[in-house]
Amino acid sequence: MKYFQLVIGLYWKAYIPFFLLNILLFFVLHYLNISPYVLLLFVNLLMFYSVAERQERFHIQRFVLSLPISRLAYVLLYYVFILLYITLVGLLMWGGYELLHIFSSDRFTLQEIGSHVFVYVLFIVMLASIFIPLFFRFKPETIEARIAFFVSQLVLFTTFILANPGGDFPVDYFAQNQEKLIGFSISCFVAFVVSFVCSRQLVEKKVVL
Amino acid sequence: MHILLSNTSKEPLFQQIKEQIKKQIYQGELKEGEALPSIRLLAKQLQVSVITTKRAYEDLEKERFLVSSVGKGTFVAGQQPHVLKERQIRELENDLEQIVERAQQIGLTKQAMIERIHLFFD
Amino acid sequence: MDVIEVRNVSNRLGQFRIEDLNFSIPKGYVTGFIGQNGSGKTTTIQMIMDVIRPKQGEIEVFGSSNTNPEMKQRIGFVYDELYMYDNFTISHMHKFIAPLYESWDDSLFERYRRAFELPMKQKLKTFSKGMKMKTSLLFALAHDPELLIMDEPTAGLDPVFRRELMDLLQELMLDSQRTIFFSTHITNDLDRLADYIVFIDNGRIKLQKSMAEIEEEFHLIKGTKEQLTAIGRDAFLGLRETGQGFTGLFQGDSTPLASGNQEMVVEKPSLEDMMYLMKGKKGAW
């Protein structure tokens, strides 16, 4: 519990602006009848980057791991925190959506809303799984890391957009197919666990924090 | 006990502490059995390192001016013959000083004083 | 008994090297860690805290490996900078740091906070360098640590607070279980306070001795060129020659040297003199 207090204390402030941005963009874009998912993924990726960069700039790990906490506990709780954060984002979106649905039931069925948000949440989990260990490994404030980050981002989103000029591809693709949805969920879960194991190893072996 | 340290003195700090404690024992300002501040408290009061006061106390213990017992602290030791002698000499010197002052008041020369002292010794 | 033991530690970070570091910090005393900027003080301190790991060798704190996070319960640390987000406040930091320490004492925290005149709810980015250092110190002291490790705590402080800090450290040393290890390049701070000195130069330990030993063993000798040739340059640990003569650092009994040379000056060296003269000679690399 005391360790969790530490992780919340350290990171919640950094995540709040992105949390609000997530919720805001989601509803505004929906209101404008634009699919929000690609843009939202972009916001989340930027969030993981910005948190890691700030953390590095202020040498937060050096401070935290001088406190009586093990490297393992620190990484574990960071992952628990990310998972809770993503769950919270998903729940708020879903809840808000439900509310909207009461007033205008014409656009989506409840079933659709639920699976849309669920798929979106899975995408953030996947992003987190890929990028958190990378940020533990490479110092995100170096020029090389910045270039690598923006190039990878560009590739990722170009693929998304090229694969589906209509816009909603990744979400609908999984949301409309039960089997694919289950498969995707499992692979996200596995990716998250593997990601944790990698991060743990990286932090445990890190020579300079 | 009162100790004044000089930073600019050539004498090391621990030596200054030792000399001043000794002097106070000779002069009877520190009496047998009197408790001294602990090594650490004295270091703080004098703004010197712990090892400095520790060394001064240890040396004074070796020279038998102080005794220390674990858990109780450090005390002025029972006076030994040589300490006692030193003290008596100092007292005598004080008396002599007064006598010389009186001699000067009544206009006796140094030579005349010494002659009188010779008389008393024989 | 030794609180910290560094054994055969070597490290290489980019261009910078630490070579075969061996030293120990005795319990119940103040040990000053001196050396020029860039000599390896910060790296060594961060290796002791296990936030930088050595390539070789081992470090023990309180008799067990320093990789055990439990030992950090008993350590208070102050780094060369306050490693914390600049939009945080002391009150916010307190919320997540205090619960981590079993021996955290809120009344002690409040006492130091008032003494240091630190505001609870002001962002760290508005703090001066001195205030940030005091903030580090506040969090280092509030769990009443047995071992206090500090990296250049007096850098950036005004002279008055520097003296006050020295007084505070002396007050902490009233407890015979307490150990203080701190680095500095301002050696005046140490001349009175330190019991032991560890001197690092270019990633190597040049000297580890008690202040008493240093006072007795080392002499600063000044004389003419002729006198220097008579004695021989090898007799000195470090030497600076000028047009007027020489200044050398001599270890051991200096009386035979001085006896025949009446014009030679023998003095007690300050820590600064020693650092200056023992520093690796340029051009030797």
Q: Which of C202, C231, C255 is the last residue of a domain?
A: C202
pLDDT in tens, B47-88: 899 999 999 999 999 988 899 888 788 899 877 777 777 777
Q: A66, C79: Cβ pair inside 8 Å?
A: yes
| Closest residue by Cα to residue B49 from B17, B2, B22 | B17
Q: Which residues pair with A177 in a beta bridge?
A: none
H helices of C178-270, where? Answer: 188-193, 211-217, 225-231, 255-259
User: Does residue C225 share a domain with residue C145?
Assistant: no
Cα separation, A39 vs C99, whole angstroms:
39
Range of the domain at C255: 216-278
C100, C222: one domain: no
| Sign of the CA dihedral with B45 first, then B46, B48, and B49 last | negative
Neighbours of chain C (3+ CB pairs under 8 A): A, B
- Kindly tell me whether chain B and chain C come into contact, counting contact as 3+ Cβ pairs under 8 Å: yes
Q: What pLDDT is stored for residue A167 in this prediction?
A: 53
The answer to whether A171 touches A112, Cβ cutoff 8 Å, is no
Q: Are residues C220 and C198 in the same domain?
A: no
Q: Identify whether residues C164 and C220 lie together within a single domain.
A: no
Confirm whether C131 is domain-assigned: yes
Q: Are B25 and B76 in contact (CB under 8 A)?
A: yes
Say whether C192 and B47 touch across the interface (CB within 8 A).
yes
Residues C112 and C149 in one domain: yes
CB contact under 8 A, C99 and A6: yes
Q: Does C218 touch chain B (CB under 8 A)?
A: no
Pairing mode, if any, of strands C30-34 and C196-201?
A: parallel
pLDDT digit string (tens) for A126-162? 889 988 888 888 777 777 777 877 787 788 777 766 6
Q: Do A206 and C49 touch (CB under 8 A)?
A: no
Contact C144, C103 (CB under 8 A): yes
**Closest by Cβ to B50, choosing from C171, C173, C215:** C173
**Residues in chain C within 8 Å Cβ distance of A209:** 51-52
Lowest-pLDDT range, C9-23, C145-159, C243-257? C243-257
Nearest to C96 among A9, A14, A65 (CB): A9
Element containing residue C219 per DSSP (H, E)? strand C218-223
Rounded distance between C-alpha atoms, residue C201 and residue C198, angstroms: 10
- Most A CBs within 10 A among C96, C104, C127, hence the mutation to make, goes to C96
Angle between helices B81-105 and B110-121 (to 10 degrees): 130
Q: Do chains C and A touch (3 or more CB pairs under 8 A)?
A: yes
Q: Do A2 and C100 touch (CB under 8 A)?
A: yes
Of C145, C134, C140, C151, residue with least CA distance to C33: C151
Q: Is the pLDDT of residue A110 over 70?
A: no
Q: Is 50 exceeded by the pLDDT of residue C284?
A: no
Residue for token pair 């205030």: C131
Q: How far apart are CA C133 and CA C150, in angstroms?
A: 10
Q: Look at B54 and C244; give whichever has higher pLDDT.
A: B54
* Partner-chain residue, chosen from A2, A6, A62, that has the shortest CB–CB distance to C51: A62
| Residues in CB range of B61: below 8 A, 6 or more apart | B67, B68, B74
Residue A198's Cα: distance from chain center in Å? 17
Q: Which residues of chain C have a CB within 8 Å of the CB of A9?
A: 92-93, 95-96
The Cα–Cα gap between B117 and B115 comes to 5
Residue C180 included in any domain: yes
* C209 belongs to a structural domain: no
Interchain pair C215, B51: CB under 8 A = no
Of C173, C202, C231, the residue at which a domain comes to its end is: C202
Q: What is the predicted pLDDT for the residue at A139?
A: 75
Question: Are B49 and C192 a contacting pair at CB < 8 A?
Answer: yes
> Does A62 sit within 8 Å of C69, measured CB to CB?
no
CA distance to partner chain C, nearest, from residue B27 (Å):
28
Lookup: tokens for B85: 């002698």
**Buried b vs exposed e over B23-61: b needs ≥16 C-beta within 10 Å?**
ebbbeeebeeeeebbbbbebbbebebbbbbbbbbbebbe
**Mean pLDDT within C208-230:** 87
Give the domain ranges of chain A: 2-205
> Residue C258's pLDDT is what?
64
- The pLDDT value recorded for residue C223 is 86
Q: Do C212 and B55 touch (CB under 8 A)?
A: yes
The yes-or-no verdict on residue C280 having pLDDT over 70 is no
The 3-class secondary structure across A72-119, one letter per residue, is HHHHHHHHHHHHHHHHHHHHHHHHHHHHHHHHCCCCCCHHHHHHHHHH
CA–CA distance, B20 with A109 (Å, rounded to integer)? 95
Here the ipTM equals 0.88
Per the structure block, which two tokens stand in for C181? 């290890």
Give CA–CA dist C11/C53, Å, rounded. Answer: 8
pLDDT in tens, A45-65: 888 888 888 888 999 999 999
Q: CATH no. for residue C149? A: 3.40.50.300
Inside any domain, residue C139: yes
Provide the token pair at A71. 């490297």
Q: Of the residues C151, C176, C202, which one is the last residue of a structural domain?
A: C202
Residues C168 and C265 both lie in one domain: no
Taking CA atoms, what residue in A is nearest to C149?
A66
Cα(C182)–Cα(C157) distance, rounded to whole angstroms? 15
Residue C173 forms contact with B (CB below 8 Å) = yes
Closest residue in C to B14 (Cα–Cα): C212
| End-to-end C-alpha distance for chain C, whole angstroms | 38
Q: Which is it for the CA torsion A168, A169, A170, A173, positive or negative?
A: positive
C144 touches chain A (CB under 8 A): no
- Chain A contact for C49, CB < 8 A? yes
Verify whether the Cβ–Cβ distance C210 to B48 is below 8 Å: no
**How does pLDDT run across C102-118, given as a tens digit for each residue?**
999 999 999 999 999 99
Q: By CA distance, what is C52's nearest residue in A?
A: A208
> Could you tell me the pLDDT band of residue C75, with boundaries at 50, 70 and 90?
very high
Are β-strands C246-251 and C204-210 bridged in parallel, bridged antiparallel, or unpaired? unpaired
Q: Is residue C207 a part of any domain in this protein? A: no
| Residues C134-156, mean pLDDT to the nearest whole number | 94
Residue C16: strand, helix, or coil: strand
Report how many domains make up chain C. 2
For C182, residues 6+ apart whose C-beta sits below 8 A from its C-beta are C30, C31, C32, C33, C78, C148, C149, C150, C151, C152, C153
pLDDT in tens, A9-40: 999 888 888 888 888 888 888 777 777 777 88
Across the interface, whether the CB atoms of B50 and C29 are under 8 A apart is answered yes
CA distance A69 to A67: 6
Cα(C10)–Cα(C22) distance, rounded to whole angstroms?
Answer: 10
Band of the pLDDT at A170, cuts 50, 70, 90?
low
Based on the fold, state whether residues C180 and C239 are members of the same structural domain.
no
Angle at C52 between CA C284 and CA C12, to 5 degrees: 30
Inter-helix orientation angle C159-172/C129-141, to 10°: 10
pLDDT at C285 over 50: no
Chains B and A touch (3+ CB pairs under 8 A): no
Give residue for tokens 């002292």. Answer: B117
C-alpha distance from C25 to closest chain B C-alpha (Å): 14
Query: Count of alpha carbons within 13 Å of C10, Cβ hemisphere only?
Result: 4
Shared domain for C10 and C116, answered yes or no, is: yes
Provide the pLDDT for residue C283.
Answer: 34
CA proximity to A90, closest of A62, A122, A56, A58: A122
pLDDT tens profile A191-204? 999 999 999 999 98
Contact C210 B51 (CB under 8 A): yes
Task: State the smallest CA–CA distance between residue C193 and chain A in angstroms.
Answer: 26
